[in-house]
Amino acid sequence: YEERFDISPYAPYAREIDLSHSAWREADVKLILSDESGRELIRYHKPPPNLWAKVELPRPFEPRVDGRSGVEELIIAGREAEKLRRYERAEELYRKALTLDPGNAEAHASLGALYNRRGLYREAYRELKTALGRDPDHGRAHYHLAIACRELGDLKAARDHFWALQLDPAYNGQGFYFLGEMALAEGNPEEAEELFRISLNHNALHVKGYDMLAMVLRKMGRIREAQEMLEKVLQEVEPTDVLAQAELWFLSSSPAQRDTLILRIGEDVQVLLELACDYMGVAQWEESIQILRLWPGAAQEGEAHPMIYYYLGYCYDKLGEMERARHLYELASRMSPDHVFPHRLEELTILDRALEVNPADARAHAYRGTLLYALGRKEEALKSWRRSLAMEPNAVVYRNVGKTLWRDKRDLVAAEEAYRRAIELAPNDHRLYADLYDVLVGLGRSAQERVSLLERAPQHCRIQARLASALVELEEWDRAIEVLRSMQFDPYEGERSTRPTYYAAYIGRGLKRYHEGDLQGALRDFEAALEYPRNVGVGKSYFAQDSKALYWAGVVAEELGDHEKALRYWREGAAIRQRPQDDPASPRDGYEPEARYYKSLCLQRLSRAGEAAQLF
């Protein structure tokens, strides 16, 4: 394809060329821009991909912390832990930094920000005040202290700290934005307009800033300005902005715009709740109610997601309509708890208020526990779940308690009790049996006890994989193989047990047959161990560690008089590869221990004893 055209900064060139996906993916593509004399100005080259080339993936940053780590290293490691939601580890690292430098502003600010994210505003307040005591101009500390003060109800202090951000380029745009939110919430639209405009001067791509400014303009009756701004946002900045669509509906009240908004919300209740939070954050309770009532069934107070009714109850509560609020809180408590996962800090406030009004709401206690756990407040989560169970036994809540006791508290005895109670309430939930099996493994219970548990469980690949593993422990090879052949397994990402169980079952039965003198049966089993049947759900890796099966297949083949087949198996066993993520400088690394041993035996059978010795 070739074309001549004039181009300049004021007359850019754009052209779509019809090129099939396969051609673009596999072709050697060059894009060359030349001037009128043929001189090359720009070249873009995409060579055809080498599908067999080894791709070295970059390793993620992993900060190393030891007894010699300094304050900065500990703070950086704490931030990395936060990214992985390892809040307890992050807090530990920040505290350790403070033992080296008490009063360190960055460590205190990091702790304060962490506490804010977990809804621990009083703790955040203390840390952030300490940070500012060391560094009065610390922008991050001012920002998070303003947030903490706002959530604690000290609006004057919140304003002071937001204003303190005006000279900090990292936070000044957001500081003015929150000042605008506070002005709007207090019914001062003129002040809010000014603050939102200043905020947008600092951050011209802040979509929510434009939406809030349009809301202010609507409140002041400047309808055309608001509409033009919202249409510009949707056309030029963020075409999927649901808050802009909601504001257009409030501007026009037209059925068509209402339908557009409902279509944009779709079937995802979280989009609806997030939109309601946008209005609740600026105390626009009536608009929040109208948004929430858009959900199917909510206007008629029928079956709906319970958080919708908790939100509605909270909005009416804020409007002073306590009877209506109480009714909605009670309605929320009767909705199905399936697939309810509160995760917003605003929802902690809403659930706390619902429980003040109705302390006997077992499901609100359960939802609150789920949210607290997500925030890393695990002790509080356990207390909430246990309060819920005292009022209303529930399998999911027992599971939550059991998993917390198992994974976080390491109290396996109590975890076992919780899981058994959960199974009594939901005997058809295979996940409960799988978890209880793992708890019993941790407790050192016998394989026979674990088999008895799984034989009562509903059939599922997670259950059958564990059952086969326990049967292998019991050396019940035939039953294990029958289980593994009976269904399709779909290993989840990172799951590594199904294929090793299949491999161990056939090798175990093959060795049994070998020692009993059934050489043909043994060879069939060793060869079956080398297969990767589709129903097991795992394909053969380039780094497959199958040397044990290959060694014994060679031994049996030789005893059967087929020396060429034996050599073929031993050569393949001697050629198994190290996994690449391990240190290639050491021949010991990259192998599973048993695979390395049997590779050495294969090498010895091939009279390559020197190579075998290097493996140990």
Domain contains 500: yes
**Position 239 confidence tier, pLDDT thresholds 50, 70, 90:** confident
- 8 forms beta bridges with 11
Looking at the predicted structure, is the pLDDT value of residue 279 above 70?
Answer: yes
Name the pLDDT band for 404 (thresholds 50, 70, 90). Answer: very high
What whole-number percentage of the chain has pLDDT above 90? 83
pLDDT for residue 426: 98
Using alpha carbons, select from 601, 539, 597 the residue that is nearest to residue 569.
601
The whole-number average pLDDT for the span 507-527 is 98
Q: pLDDT per residue over 197-233, tens digit each?
A: 999 999 999 999 999 999 999 999 999 999 999 999 9
Round the average pLDDT of the chain to a whole number and report it. Answer: 94
- Report whether pLDDT(24) > 80: no
| Residue 495 is assigned to a structural domain of this protein | yes
Average pLDDT over residues 47-62: 76
110 and 336 in contact (C-beta within 8 Å)? no
Count structural domains, the chain.
1
Q: Tokens 């070295």 correspond to what residue?
A: 56
Confidence (pLDDT) at 115? 98
User: What would you measure as the largest C-alpha separation in the chain, in angstroms?
Assistant: 97
Q: What is the mean pLDDT of residues 414-425?
A: 98
Backbone φ, ψ for residue 6 (5° rounding):
-90, 140
Kindly tell me if the per-residue pLDDT of 52 is higher than 90: no
> What's the pLDDT tens digit per position in 281-314?
999 999 999 999 999 999 999 999 999 999 999 9
Tell me the mean pLDDT in the region 17-27: 74
Nearest to 398, CA basis, from 415, 417, 418: 418
Q: Which amino acid is at 512?
A: K
Average pLDDT in the 589-603 region?
A: 87
Q: Is the pLDDT of residue 591 over 90?
A: no
Task: Judge whether 410 lies within some domain.
Answer: no
pLDDT digits (tens, 9 = 90+) for 35-49: 888 888 888 988 887
Confidence of residue 491 (pLDDT cuts 50, 70, 90): confident
For the stretch 348-373, pLDDT in tens is 999 999 999 999 999 999 999 999 99
pLDDT at 585: 52
Q: What percent of the chain has pLDDT over 70?
A: 97
**443: Cα separation from own chain's centroid:** 29
Provide the H-helix boundaries in 101-233.
105-117, 121-134, 139-152, 155-163, 172-185, 189-202, 207-219, 223-232
Cα–Cα dist 392/386, whole Å: 10
Report DSSP state, residue 535.
Answer: G
SS3 state at 409? coil
Compute the CA torsion angle 444, 449, 454, 455 (nearest 10 deg).
170
- Establish if 308 belongs to a structural domain: no
Mean pLDDT, range 369-385, rounded to an integer? 97
Q: Does residue 10 register a pLDDT over 80?
A: no
pLDDT over 80 (residue 588): no
**Separation between Cα atoms, residue 208 and residue 185, nearest integer Å:** 15
Whether 428 is covered by a domain: the verdict is no
pLDDT of residue 578: 81
For residue 333, pLDDT beyond 80:
yes
Could you tell me where the DSSP H helices lie in 135-171?
A: 139-152, 155-163
Q: Averaged over 504-509, what is the pLDDT? A: 98
- Domain membership of residue 34 (yes or no) is no
Tokens found for residue 320: 């002073």
Q: Is residue 479, in this structure, part of any structural domain at all?
A: yes
Q: Give residue 513's domain range.
A: 468-540
Q: Per the domain annotation, does 506 fall within a domain?
A: yes
